[in-house]
Amino acid sequence: MNKQTIFAKKAGKGLAAYLTDRKNLLAHALLGCILLFIAIIAPIHLWAKLGLIICLVMLNIIRMRWAKARKN
């Protein structure tokens, strides 16, 4: 296998693990509701919304890695 195939398989497995984690789904659902509520009352810039989503994803990835390390 070449490097691109190995990278694609690792990325696919990581994405599948991220999207099937219940805590991640709950966090994204809550963030979506909060952003919708804020957008109705006080519109915020698109970059602020994207920044919040990126921060949430990074925190969830860190939490998942930390939980995996605790299991091992």
Question: Residues 19-45: pLDDT tens digits?
Answer: 787 887 888 788 878 877 877 787 778
Phi, psi (5° rounding) for residue 45? Answer: -65, 150
For the entire predicted model, the pTM comes to: 0.60
Q: CA 57, CA 38: separation in Å to the nearest integer?
A: 20
Q: Does residue 9 or residue 49 have the better pLDDT?
A: 9
Q: How far, in Å, are 16, 25, 27, 35 from residue 22 at the CA level?
A: 12, 5, 9, 20
C-alpha to C-alpha distance for 5 and 33, rounded to whole angstroms: 37
Model pLDDT, residue 29: 84
